[in-house]
Amino acid sequence: MANKFSKVVKNIYRLPTFCHSYLLTKLFCSQVKYAGTSKVTLHKITHNEVELSIANIKRVQNHIGGVHAIAASLLAESATGIVFGMNVPDSHLPLLKSMTVNYNRRMQGGLQAKANLSQEQLSQITSEEKGDILVPVVITDESGQEPIECLMNWAWVPKKRS
């Protein structure tokens, strides 16, 4: 089932490959301003997988020169929200209910995020009137390690008719 967001993404993928990341990033950051401010970059969007990154640049650094905890959380929320949002019908609102973020060690360099939905989760989103699912995301830093663990609880509810 396609929604407006997934249709725009599909149209971007019809264009030459070299412009996909740029256009996906522009699309997302036009709607999520803080992601644009933080220079989040989208690399891949499908109905069941999203990949994005954030560079360790001055505007997102903490007092010790690493990616700030909130910028890392933004990356996790963005990755899970995008893959979730690709599948929520236009007649429904996607809502973040909760986020669990465990910081296990200092982050080194820029961060990559990959969020996935299972086939069961995809079916649940499109077949149930409302509900919620836990969307995991893997965050790795430039060392290849996972300095934080994140789990986002996303819900969908019918839009109120005006």
Q: Are strands 111-116 and 131-141 parallel, antiparallel or unpaired?
A: antiparallel
Q: What is the pLDDT of residue 162?
A: 61
In degrees, to the nearest 5, what angle opens at C-alpha 74 toward C-alphas 131 and 44? 80
Domain containing 129 equals 4-158
**Residues facing residue 158 across a β-bridge:** 92
Which CATH number do you get for residue 67?
Answer: 3.10.129.10
Sequence-ordered strand ranges (E) for the chain? 40-45, 49-54, 92-103, 111-116, 131-141, 148-158
Which residue has tokens 């030459």?
16
Is the pLDDT confidence value at 1 over 70? Answer: no
Q: What is the pLDDT of residue 16?
A: 94
Decide: helix, strand or coil at residue 143: coil
92-128: per-residue pLDDT in tens?
A: 999 999 999 999 999 999 999 999 999 999 999 989 9
Q: What is the pLDDT of residue 161?
A: 74
Grade residue 130 by pLDDT with cuts at 50, 70 and 90.
very high
Q: What is the pLDDT of residue 31?
A: 79
How far is 151 from 45, CA to CA, in rounded Å? 19
What pTM, to 2 d.p., does this model score?
0.91
CA of 101: how far to CAs of 7, 58, 67, 93, in Å?
A: 31, 22, 14, 23
Residues 6 or more apart whose CB falls under 8 angstroms from that of 64 comprise 106
Q: What is the pLDDT of residue 83?
A: 95
Q: For the residues of 55-92, what is the DSSP string, one character each?
A: ---GGGB-TTSSBPHHHHHHHHHHHHHHHHHTTS-TTE
| Domains identified in the chain, total number | 1
22-48: per-residue pLDDT in tens?
A: 998 888 878 787 777 788 899 999 999
